Amino acid sequence: MKYDVFLFDLDDTLMDFGETEKNAFTNVFTTHGFPNALADYRGTYRAVSTVLWEDLEQGRTTLADLKTERFRRVFLEHGLKMDAETFGQMYLDYLGKEVHLIDGVTTMLQSLKGKRIAVLTNGFKDVQLARIAASGLTETFEAIFTSEEIGFQKPQPEIFEHVFKQLAIKDKSRVLMVGDSLSSDIRGGNNFGIDTCWYNPKRKENSGLAKPTYEIHDWEEFQSIITQTTASS
């Protein structure tokens, strides 16, 4: 096999974050007496959250600020007098209880048995560790790296440097970064000089800002690529 080390993104790569977010969002607002939050506030929240995550990737904000700021902006937009800090922490608590593995992930990971597999995620450490533990996959991974713990986030090269140092990786050509985000996973891999695989189940158009080595639409395709690289290596 051409690759010895596989670095996987978590959200919307191994786990369905849309479902996770929807459920956590509903639960935290319902707890505070807003049972219609999905219809009333989620559109605003997702727009705000998208902007803030982009800011995070570009180093313009931090995870600590993002946790509170996304709800502060929603409350401001809708005239809600709520404590954004308390709300933000409760939302993370609910996120950590949600586990929705994407179809085919378990079989795909089993097919890589004997290889070095790690998670590299732009996310909150406690939330991501809790979700992975609840999925029963913790022992599958040699390591789980979160941007909160490292202090840098994809696509910044420093986060990849940290991972390579911790895993004692010497040969970049033997590493494959796998993820759904062109702006963080694929661009990060491009900038660091490692091969990448874009998980693109919705068949989004590539804007051209990042160049994946491979593009897949489901995990069966991924296994096919791995088989092909094994045969040619």
One DSSP character per residue, 209-230 reads SS--SEEESSHHHHHHHHHHHH
> How many helices and strands (H and E) does the chain possess?
11, 6
Cα 175 to chain centroid distance, Å, stands at: 18
108 exposure class (CB count in 10 Å sphere: 0-12, 13-18, 19+): buried
Sign of CA pseudo-dihedral 117, 102, 88, 68: positive
201 exposure class (CB count in 10 Å sphere: 0-12, 13-18, 19+): middle
Catalytic residue among 11, 16, 180, 185: 11
Catalytic residue flag (residue 9): yes
168-171: long-range pairs with CB below 8 Å, 24+: 169/5
The bridge status of strand 5-8 relative to strand 116-121 is: parallel
* Joined tokens for residue 165: 């140092």
Catalytic residue flag (residue 11): yes
Catalytic residue among 4, 9, 65, 218: 9
Residues tagged active-site: 9, 11
